[in-house]
């Protein structure tokens, strides 16, 4: 394990923008997302429902117009309806596709009429339930592209671990960036990084119905910016191989090392699962934020020296 670790914690009180961003994230989580009950999504995403959805989706996909089929993943042609594991995986993607859900709710049955009707009822319940949840009100998806969701999704989190992991990075990176370049630059990076992450997420999931939430795109922009904007600096890291003497402690490494440590896995995840439906992680948002941060960092290196 290796984590970046700030050197001067006594100066935390001089980072108002960092603290305001963290406070906004924590406040929204505590007010709207803490202790949420399980939704009807858990019913829809059961194995038996996913198998039915996958089988129906396979027939649905084969009946699409040729122009639309060309945009579908090539591996769909290799799916076999008799393979339950393949159908569960395909169903997991299908129930996140707004166009497929619209088809099931509004079209004549495909295949087994009873199974089709049962899936239709569960999808209807799921969509009604989702529309009333904070995840839908604050999150970003293909149905909410002209709203404040572009901002609110950056301050929303599902679960304590999701919140804590993002806030740990935001605290350290915000502390450093605000101290070097000022609070205005930090706020610009956070918001535009989230916006860029949302753009890439929607471009790869143009019909996704499950909203995306989290500050990961914004944090990725901060990581990318800091690692490239000032490559001469060295950052203190805490490392631990084992909790014994000489196998843990602090080490100083170049800022550029932050990139492979924290961002390479996101690019690999995007290549492996561009839609993110298998992992549940929106790698596209991470990569979008990282690319935005890198672009701004290179411009800062060309046109402005840090103070």
**What's the pLDDT at 64?**
81
Task: Number of helices (H) and strands (E) in the chain: give both, helices first.
Answer: 15, 3
Average per-residue pLDDT in the chain? 82
- Name residue, tokens 């795109």: 217
Instruction: Write down the pLDDT at residue 301.
Output: 79
Q: What is the pTM of this model?
A: 0.81
Q: Is the Cβ–Cβ distance between 226 and 255 less than 8 Å?
A: yes
Q: What is the pLDDT of residue 274?
A: 57
Q: What is the pLDDT of residues 5-55, one digit of tens each?
A: 666 655 666 789 999 999 999 999 999 887 665 454 555 556 677 888 888
Ranges under pLDDT 50 in the chain: 38, 40, 306-307
Partners of 254 in the β-ladder: 234
Distance CA(204)–CA(125), nearest Å, equals: 26
- Over residues 143-182, the pLDDT tens digits come to 888 789 999 999 999 889 999 989 988 988 898 889 888 9
CA triplet 210, 78, 74: central angle to 5 degrees? Answer: 60
Work out whether the CA dihedral 40, 42, 47, 53 comes out positive or negative. positive
Cβ neighbours for 42, distance < 8 A, ≥ 6 positions apart: none
What are the boundaries of each domain within the chain? 2-36+143-303, 41-132
Q: In whole angstroms, what is the distance from residue 20 CA to residue 223 CA?
A: 19
Fold of 2-36+143-303: Rhomboid-like fold (1.20.1540)
Task: Report residue 279 as tokens.
Answer: 């992992």
Q: Are 253 and 231 in contact (CB under 8 A)?
A: no
Q: What local confidence, expressed as pLDDT, does residue 40 receive?
A: 46
pLDDT at 180: 82
pLDDT computed for residue 219 by the predictor = 94
């Amino acid at each position: 394990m290796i984590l970046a670790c700030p050197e001067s914690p006594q100066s935390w009180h001089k980072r108002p923008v960092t603290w305001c961003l963290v406070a906004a994230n924590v406040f929204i989580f505590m007010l709207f997302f803490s202790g949420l009950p399980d939704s009807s999504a858990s019913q829809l995403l059961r194995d038996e429902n996913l198998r039915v959805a996958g089988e129906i989706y396979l027939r649905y996909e084969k009946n699409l117009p040729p122009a639309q089929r060309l945009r579908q993943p090539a591996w769909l042609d290799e799916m076999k309806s008799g393979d339950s594991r393949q159908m569960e995986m395909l169903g997991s993607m299908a129930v996140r596709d707004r166009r497929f859900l619209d088809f099931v709710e509004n079209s004549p049955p495909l295949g087994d009429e009873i199974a089709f009707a049962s899936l239709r009822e569960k999808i209807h319940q799921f969509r009604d339930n989702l529309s009333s949840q904070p995840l839908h009100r604050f999150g970003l998806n293909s149905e909410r592209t002209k709203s404040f969701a572009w901002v609110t999704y950056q301050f929303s989190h599902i679960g304590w671990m999701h919140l804590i992991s993002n806030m740990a990075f935001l605290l350290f990176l915000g502390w450093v960036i605000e101290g070097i370049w000022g609070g205005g630059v930090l706020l610009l990076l956070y918001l535009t990084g989230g916006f860029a992450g949302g753009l890439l997420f929607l471009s790869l999931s143009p019909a996704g119905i499950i909203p995306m939430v989290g500050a990961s795109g914004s944090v990725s922009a901060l990581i990318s910016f800091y690692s490239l904007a000032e490559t001469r600096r060295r950052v203190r890291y805490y490392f631990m191989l084992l909790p014994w003497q000489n196998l843990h402690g602090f080490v100083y490494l170049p800022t550029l090392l932050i990139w492979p440590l924290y961002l390479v896995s996101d690019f690999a995840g995007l290549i492996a699962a561009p839609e993110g439906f298998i992992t549940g992680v929106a790698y596209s948002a991470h990569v979008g934020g990282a690319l935005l941060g890198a672009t701004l960092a290179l411009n800062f290196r060309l046109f402005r020296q840090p103070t």
